[in-house]
Amino acid sequence: MSKKKEYRDESTIRHRMMFVFIGLFLFFVILAIRLFVVMVLNSPQLKNIAEKQWTSEVQISAKRGRILDSNGNELAISGNVYRVDLDMNTIRETLKTKKTMSMDSLGKAIAQALGMKQEDVNKKLNQKLPNGLPIQAVTIARRVEKAQADNIKNLKVNGIIVSPDTKRYYPNDNLLSQVIGHTNSDGKGLTGVEYEYDQYLAGIPGKRIAELDRNRSELPYSISTYTKPIDGKDVVLTEDEMIQKIAEKWATQALNDNKAKAVSIVVMNPKNGEILAMANKPDYNLNDPWQKDQNKSSAELQKSWRNRAVSDAFEPGSIFKVITATAAMEEGLVKEDDKFNCSGAFTVANRVIHCWKRTGHGEENFIDILKNSCNAGFAVLGQRLGAEKLNKYINLVGFGQKTGIDLPGEARGIIKPTNKVGPVDLATIAFGQANTVSMIQYMAAFNSVANGGIWIRPHVMKKIVHYDENGNEVVDKQYDDYGKKQIISENTAKTLRGYLEQVVSTGGGKNAFIAGYHIAGKTGTAQKPNPNGGGYAAGKYISSFAGMAPANDPQLTVLVSIDEPDPSNYYAGQIAAPVGKGVFNDVFNYLAFKPDASNLDVAKSMLKDVVVPNVRGLKKAEATKLLKSINLDCDIDQNGDYITDMSPKPGDTVKEGTKIVLYTGSSPNYNDKVVIVPSLVGYSKDKAQQLLDSIGLKLQFNGSGIVSEQDIEEGTQVERGTTINLTLDTVGD
């Protein structure tokens, strides 16, 4: 072999070795890079995957905190129950080893253990991921009782995980439902206090981590880690369970008696903004919020969950006159003896506006326009104030702004901007039309009159607490977001309270009067705007009563709202004021409040007014039966078989339980034709007709709606057959 060839072979070998070394070098570089990526960059992710393969992590739910009333009564509690989850990868591995069990037979066994339908269980077992692959884990059931959990454990199938869970339970079902609210299937607050204070109620879940073998069975010798859950804190509300029950009783009665669409009642402590009761009817059962048996749509469910006292805005009507009066008094634009003349109609910017009393109230002073709820008088006050000053006080009392109440879904309301308030708007706003407010906004404003001129934020949370190892209460948070501000003078508030007491004692709110309680208040009957635009909806009203007591130093404020009562009887003085009266009486009795009147006078004032029917000409048995049916007693002589005279006379207005003296004779004929003209204001045409027919009087009417005027005054003696002329109007006050 030549040297040249030898050299060429060595050169070739060197080149080949160089390529080999370069290849090996690149291989090791790539390997190093890959190892770096795997061991450093992808380490957390791969470690997480590995841990999932050889560990089992179970989240242990924290026990949700309780919701309590102001006296510690439980309104919402959580019980210890269980949940059943499936690790589907382990289940599939288990079924491969257990030849005697299939996915279908497993579904049947689980269904029997839990009392579920097999098709529902099978559907979960055979779920697929969006990419078509089998699902890796599935929740079979939540809030399972211990007996069912034990049944599942007895199946002894690897991959079935039974872990602690909590079940929300509401001991009083419907009580305070829209305020308390409810949770979803995962125990997270959806509405009401459950939603608003979820961060405190929820607590912090715990964890249990165990090591598994390749068949995902727990290793007996491995060490499990356990993190104890931290239970949620208790939320103590300002509501008093007994006062809430009183409010709900009266709300239910008002709903049924008036065939209304809805009724809401709010009871507050005006001195600190605490809501003592907030009742909305209809309501819903907190233990069945989805009302499964009723097949309600999502919209219907949301409607039943809505807290109307907070989330609904409405035209307040004449209860707004309290705000107009406050503004005029605070600005020094009206005095008690100022004179107003109401002819029944007044013209503003070429537009005729009617007072609710079409025939007019005549000459009145300032107290009279409050007692009579005179639209004409308040339109004059609106003109004196002007748009800028009236809106100044509307803004001061918080209308058009959220109060910041600690409940979700609060309405802001609509207030017309000052630069868009014309002369007609100014008049109508002054007596309660055009603007809208929520009940809770109005209560915050009304409370400022009750407490000496201070606006205070309404609220339902009193404090948030937990308990130490010795069972001692530890306060984590007390309500302190009062937002206090002096918006009117103490003297204005005190003087106005005196005027409003006269509204209840002798004015349009007299059906709320209770002797010795000194209730001050205002009624309002407002037409509802047409939802499709164009004025007001026919026959649809909101009847309201706002009251405080006792007037010299109010301890309670109450607002009653009756939405769309029977259009034949919607006058607030007749239907809302008596509800307020009942609430005040029951709450003050519960609180052991002592009126400054005798028990006899208090009891008498609580009795309903009854118009005495004409029983002359009836047999004694028929007469006594008729009187008893309307809660009247009688004292009857035994000389004859027929009633020939009576005292008081038919048509007179007396209290329930009044004794009617009956005189008898041998014939149904009688000579006395005298009857008393009853008060018909607020009656519908049909009810007025029925009443006058019963005592032998005739009726003529003009207009439509409810009676706003009668030509013969209440209490006048007339002969049977006399015609009473009635004026009807579409709005009460």
> Angle at the Cα of 283 (from 281 to 286), degrees rounded to 5?
155
Residue 12, H or E segment: helix 3-36
704 is known as an active-site residue: no
Among residues 4, 68, 528, 458, which one has the least CA distance to residue 316?
A: 528
Residue in the structure block whose two tokens are 């309270």: 497
Residue 408: helix, strand or coil by DSSP?
A: coil
DSSP conformation letters of 200-242: HHS-B-EEEEEEB-TTSPBPTTSPPEEE--BPPPEEEES--HH
Q: Is the dihedral of CA 699, 704, 705, 710 positive or negative?
A: negative
**In which residue are the tokens 């099978």 written?**
122
Token pair for 331: 């600005």
CA terminus-to-terminus distance, the chain: 130
Q: Give CA–CA dist 386/4, Å, rounded.
A: 119
Q: How far apart are CA 584 and CA 503, in angstroms?
A: 16
Dihedral of the CA atoms 256, 257, 259, 262 (nearest 10)?
A: -60
Rounded distance between C-alpha atoms, residue 521 and residue 105, angstroms: 70
550 upstream amide cis, omega within 30 of 0: yes
| Residue 596 CA: distances (Å) to CA of 494, 511, 550, 588, 600 | 19, 19, 10, 13, 12
**Angle, alpha carbons 247-248-254 (nearest 5°):** 90
Helices 321-330 + 490-506 axis angle, to 10:
140
Q: What share of the chain is helix, strand, coil (3-state, %, to 5)?
A: 35, 25, 35
Element (H, E) at 84: strand 74-87
Give ∠ CA 26-29-32 in degrees, rounded to 5. 150
Residue 465 CA to residue 72 CA, distance in Å, equals: 11
| Secondary structure (H, E, C), 665-717 | ECCCCCCCCEEECCCCCCCEHHHHHHHHHHHCCEEEEEECCEEEEECCCCCCE
| CA neighbours closer than 13 Å in the CB half-sphere of residue 190 | 17
* Of 56, 264, 311, 318, catalytic: 318
Q: Which residues contact 660 (CB under 8 A, 6 or more apart)?
A: 612, 615, 627, 632, 633, 634, 635, 646, 647, 648, 654
Contact 725, 701 (CB under 8 A): yes
d(CA 588, CA 514): 11
CA angle 295, 299, 301 (to 5 degrees): 55
> Which one, of 733, 690, 691, 688, lies nearest residue 710 by Cα?
688
292 DSSP 8-state letter: G
Residue labelled with tokens 């209840």: 504
**391-to-38, 398, 413, 430, 435 alpha-carbon distances in Å:** 70, 11, 14, 10, 11
How many CA within 13 A on the CB side of residue 514? 30
Tokens of 630: 């309307």
Given the structure tokens 């791969």, which residue do they identify? Answer: 46
**β-strand pairing of 633-636 with 659-665:** parallel
What amino acid positions are annotated as catalytic residues?
Answer: 318
